[in-house]
């Protein structure tokens, strides 16, 4: 099944919180995730920079750390969410205000904006989506060995059945998991992934191409 871009939040079997992001794409597969100034970004692969002229939505920061929180999203809303949280705005309010302001993407598919946030310590994260017909922001209980996910198509709501078994010993393994681990292996056309995994009081970042 093709679900487009994916955001997931979860907790390893050892209790480490993680935020995952995966690009799955039929239209713009020539992209990669890279680290830039302490954040993770989606950019065109070398030789495909001209794709930026075809769509303004294909390059963006996808993972940022804001204080004790890791934020993962599928677009330019990563930055305002992270900046609001860093300024002390409650996570729920940061998600609501940024998604409401930017709205869904005005492309040929009315692509939703999706987002997830997890604390370095704690058992509650957040998943959110703004579609052409709805804005949903919901607290998620984090439990060891599980990841909850949301996607731009098909899995485009916060639903109880969008759960995968999850475990990773480090951030690189978490990024790889988003490509081919658990239920994610069933989701088509993976391109690249990014992950933030909590450990020793801070988040470790990693990327992985499919």
Arithmetic mean of pLDDT, 143-148: 98
User: What is the Rg, in whole angstroms, of the alpha carbon atoms belonging to the chain?
Assistant: 15
Residue 168 falls inside a structural domain: yes
Contact (Cβ atoms closer than 8 angstroms) between residue 142 and residue 121: no
Number of Cα atoms under 13 Å in the Cβ half of residue 110: 6
Q: What's the CATH code of the domain at 24? A: 3.60.20.20
Q: pLDDT digits over 146-173, tens only?
A: 999 999 999 999 999 999 999 999 999 9
The model's confidence at residue 200, banded by pLDDT at 50, 70 and 90, is confident
Residue 140 falls inside a structural domain: yes
Q: pLDDT digits over 99-130, tens only?
A: 999 999 999 899 999 999 999 999 999 999 99
Share of the chain above pLDDT 70, in %: 100
User: Cβ contacts of residue 173 below 8 Å, gap of 6+?
Assistant: none
Q: How far apart are CA 120 and CA 69, in angstroms?
A: 6
Question: What is the count of structural domains for the chain?
Answer: 1
Q: How far apart are CA 71 and CA 116, in angstroms?
A: 6
Q: How far apart are CA 187 and CA 198, in angstroms?
A: 25
Q: pLDDT averaged over the chain?
A: 97
- 3-state DSSP call for residue 1? coil
pTM summary value:
0.97
Residue 180 phi, psi dihedral angles, 5° rounding: -140, 20
Contact (Cβ atoms closer than 8 angstroms) between residue 21 and residue 7: yes
Residue 27 falls inside a structural domain: yes
pLDDT of amino acid 87: 98
Q: How far apart are CA 87 and CA 40, in angstroms?
A: 20
Containing domain of residue 120, as a range? 6-209
- 3-state DSSP call for residue 173? helix
pLDDT of amino acid 201: 74
Q: How far apart are CA 193 and CA 95, in angstroms?
A: 22
Q: How far apart are CA 200 and CA 44, in angstroms?
A: 33
Residue 1 falls inside a structural domain: no
User: Cβ contacts of residue 141 below 8 Å, gap of 6+?
Assistant: 123, 124
pLDDT of amino acid 129: 98
Residue count of the chain, please give it.
210
Q: pLDDT digits over 53-78, tens only?
A: 999 899 999 999 999 999 999 999 99
């Amino acid at each position: 099944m093709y679900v487009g871009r994916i955001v997931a939040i979860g907790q390893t079997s050892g209790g480490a919180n993680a935020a995952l992001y995966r690009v799955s794409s039929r239209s713009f597969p020539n992209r990669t995730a890279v680290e830039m100034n302490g954040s993770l970004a989606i950019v065109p692969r070398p030789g495909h920079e001209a794709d930026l002229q075809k769509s303004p939505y294909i390059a963006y920061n996808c993972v940022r750390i804001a204080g004790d929180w890791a934020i993962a999203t599928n677009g330019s809303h990563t930055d305002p969410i992270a900046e609001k949280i860093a300024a002390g705005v409650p996570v729920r309010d940061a998600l609501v205000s940024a998604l409401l302001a930017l709205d869904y993407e005005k492309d040929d598919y009315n692509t939703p904006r999706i987002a997830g946030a997890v604390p370095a310590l704690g058992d509650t994260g957040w998943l959110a989506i703004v579609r052409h017909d709805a804005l949903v922001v919901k607290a998620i209980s984090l439990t060891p060995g599980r990841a909850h996910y949301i996607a731009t198509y098909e899995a485009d709501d916060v639903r109880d059945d969008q759960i995968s078994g999850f475990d990773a010993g480090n951030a690189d393994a978490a990024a790889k998991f988003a490509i081919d681990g658990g239920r994610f292996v069933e989701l088509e056309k993976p391109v690249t992934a990014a992950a933030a995994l909590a450990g020793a009081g801070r988040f470790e970042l990693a990327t992985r191409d499919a």
